[in-house]
């Protein structure tokens, strides 16, 4: 088998006129994701033990048997991977033809937020204006029902526009309903936004959204973990939701029923340690049952505007940080002045440390903190942490 792979590799090099080593590495990275029975976590384990994707394909049966969790079925797939390597060659040609970049999880360009998730994809395919967008300082995932109400669409548009002063990248799934509403509004405002697809980049689904997708490439892009010929199969869409939440700082649910794709994304977000926000709806409204449940069960924070979210996340508008310094000169009580001095001593301070240093009773401390928030002097951050505005 090893000799056959070497012959096949030499043939590939000959056909592509001395392909650079980086392209040969990419060939094996792609091929690893195409081997039957190998998922993302197994592939990462193989690379960890063997040293590289290329080394995985060069390993002997005896070497593969030493790897924990790798049984006879997987070993057979790896040792008979010529089909996967041929498919990878075709994929490389497609990437070159259409200017698509493939990013392996060990690549420094791989989204750092997403890499933290154990089930993150081994390989991402990206077509767009710049890979730097994947590392933007503030990334918001907007999700919701595929059949929003007129009110839901209006709220979604208002939220996207409200993020404009905060230099936010919008991420969604290019689906009907809330997804496309968020993408279309972002495109209209020339805001960067990325669509995460449940199929390969060889097509756009649904086809009605192709024109929006093409405009997104100008200041954003399209992202997928699937090779270009992958169809929009039903099981792909729940899995792509882990990418939407994993590459974002927070997930914002606009409208959703009590079950469905949005609730799956929330579950991913919770496992990934992402903040979740939800827009409240009328009691009993079927399209808001999920949002209201998330807020009521304290699985999501209530959000009625982008400003609500920016406040909870501790974001400042561009150029606004210095303009608020004057607020620190309000007339303060002795207790308030002491609290401000303690909070200013470090970038962020958790509530337990603030309680210890201030020597205030918890009830009095909560009251003082609330007064300082109303005066615009301090800000509450996620996890009951505080900082001076």
Q: pLDDT tens digit string along 282-302?
A: 998 999 999 999 999 999 999
- Tell me if 305 sits within 8 A of 279, measured CB to CB: no
Neighbouring-strand partners of residue 387: 379
Distance, in Å, from the CA atom of 236 to the CA atom of 387, rounded to the nearest integer, reads: 41
| pLDDT (average), residues 145-162 | 96
Tell me which DSSP letter residue 388 carries: E
Other CB atoms within a 10 A radius of the CB of residue 67 amount to: 18
Tell me which DSSP letter residue 18 carries: S
SS3 percent helix, strand, coil of the chain, rounded to 5, is: 50, 10, 35
Q: pLDDT tens digit string along 333-381?
A: 778 888 888 888 777 888 888 888 888 888 888 888 888 887 778 888 8
Q: pLDDT tens digit string along 29-86?
A: 999 999 998 999 999 999 999 999 999 999 999 999 999 989 999 999 999 999 999 9
Q: Which pTM was predicted?
A: 0.78
Tell me which DSSP letter residue 204 carries: -
Distance, in Å, from the CA atom of 259 to the CA atom of 292, rounded to the nearest integer, reads: 12
Neighbouring-strand partners of residue 381: 385
| Rounded (10°) angle between helices 289-296 and 261-271 | 30
Q: Closest by alpha carbon to 106, among 43, 35, 21? A: 43
Residue 10, pLDDT > 70, answer no
Strand order in the sheet with 301-302: 101-104, 123-128, 220-224, 193-196, 169-172, 139-143, 250-253, 275-278, 301-302
Q: Closest by alpha carbon to 38, among 71, 8, 66, 62? A: 71
CA 309 to each of CA 7, 242, 315, 373: distance values in angstroms, whole numbers, following the listed order: 57, 21, 8, 15
pLDDT at res. 21: 60
Domains annotated on the chain, with CATH: 2-96 (1.10.150.20), 131-313 (3.40.50.450), 322-388 (1.10.10.10)
Q: Which two tokens stand for residue 171?
A: 């991420």
Residue 310, pLDDT > 50, answer yes
Q: Closest by alpha carbon to 225, among 102, 109, 113? A: 102
């Amino acid at each position: 088998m090893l000799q056959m792979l070497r012959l096949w590799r030499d043939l590939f090099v000959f056909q592509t006129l001395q392909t650079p080593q980086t392209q040969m590495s990419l060939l094996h990275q792609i091929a690893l994701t195409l081997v039957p029975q190998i998922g993302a976590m197994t592939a990462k384990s193989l690379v960890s033990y063997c040293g590289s994707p290329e080394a995985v394909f060069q390993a002997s049966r005896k070497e593969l048997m030493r790897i924990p969790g790798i049984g006879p079925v997987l070993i057979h797939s790896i040792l008979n991977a010529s089909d996967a390597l041929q498919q990878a060659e075709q994929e490389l040609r497609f990437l070159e033809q259409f200017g698509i970049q493939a990013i392996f999880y060990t690549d420094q360009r791989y989204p750092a937020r997403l890499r933290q998730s154990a089930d993150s994809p081994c390989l991402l395919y990206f077509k767009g204006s710049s890979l730097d967008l994947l590392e933007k300082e503030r990334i918001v995932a907007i999700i919701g029902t595929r059949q929003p109400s007129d009110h839901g669409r209006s709220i979604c548009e208002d939220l996207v526009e409200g993020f404009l002063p905060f230099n936010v990248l919008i991420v969604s799934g290019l689906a009907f309903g809330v997804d496309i509403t968020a993408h279309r509004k972002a495109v209209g405002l020339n805001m960067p936004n990325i669509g995460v697809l449940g199929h390969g980049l060889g097509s756009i689904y649904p086809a009605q959204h192709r024109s929006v997708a093409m405009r997104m490439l100008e200041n954003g892009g399209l992202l997928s973990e699937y090779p270009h010929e992958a169809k929009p199969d039903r099981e792909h869409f729940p899995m792509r939701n882990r990418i939407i939440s994993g590459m974002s700082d927070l997930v914002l649910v606009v409208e959703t029923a009590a079950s469905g794709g949005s609730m799956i994304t929330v579950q991913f977000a919770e496992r990934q340690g992402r903040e979740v926000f939800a827009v409240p709806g009328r009691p009993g409204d079927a399209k808001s049952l999920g949002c209201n449940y998330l807020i009521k069960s304290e699985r999501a924070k209530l959000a009625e505007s982008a400003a609500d979210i920016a406040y909870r996340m501790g974001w400042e508008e561009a150029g606004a940080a210095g303009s608020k310094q004057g607020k620190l000169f309000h007339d303060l009580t002795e207790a308030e002045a002491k609290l401000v001095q303690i909070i200013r001593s470090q970038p962020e301070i958790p509530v337990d440390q603030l309680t210890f240093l201030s020597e205030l009773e918890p009830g009095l401390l909560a009251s003082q903190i609330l007064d300082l928030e109303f005066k615009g002097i301090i800000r509450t951050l996620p996890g009951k942490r505080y900082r001076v505005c």
